[in-house]
Chain A
């Protein structure tokens, strides 16, 4: 069955330090992978996606993510965290080009401390 796991409910990072939010997935075909961010009582905002090509993708607000096919992972990273990065982060996967459904992780709350 298709699934997405975000193993950490919460990640705490000091401002200025690098951050990583983990995501692993399970799909039977080629995955299309996405990261979204959600601020309190708001909708989700798209950060970045991996479709094909270079395993390291860059997105909005200085975020990047690395696709690792052998480990079926797509971890979100940022070299230097800002307090304003504090939010809820969701990883999602879509299986193949003709599939409309996104499978979502449970979300990881990122807290950046000054």
Chain B
């Protein structure tokens, strides 16, 4: 069953703690993305990766970090430097750039308590 899997679905974090969100895909896609979604706003790009061992900052990368050691995995770490981390986080993948659509995971809702 092909797809993109995010875990966990819900995550609670205490202020000052780092937390890592998992994203795995078995679609053999080269490109992977992390987005943040806040109420009433569109998706904002945090990081993206075009290929293994390479990634680029998106529009709101401050306070986040990623790695791309394997083609199928693109974990996102929300660090204590992120001032307002409570949000819905979406991971996506696509074959390549240009005319290909992105496929999304089901999202992780992170709440800082």
Contact = CB atoms under 8 A, between A and B. Distances in A.
Interface of A: 4, 9, 32, 34, 36, 41-46, 49, 51, 90, 92, 94, 96-102, 104-107
Contacts of A107: 40-42
Interface stretch (B66-74, B76-84, B102-110): B102-110
The interface centre, meaning the residue of B4, B41, B92, B99 with most chain A CB atoms within 10 A of its CB, is B99
Contacts, number: 65
Kindly state the interface size class of chain B when it binds its partner: 20 to 34
Most interface-central of A90, A94, A106 (chain B CB within 10 A): A94
Given A100-B31, A100-B50, A105 B42 contact: yes
B2 interface: no
A106 B41 contact: yes
A9 B39 CA distance: 11
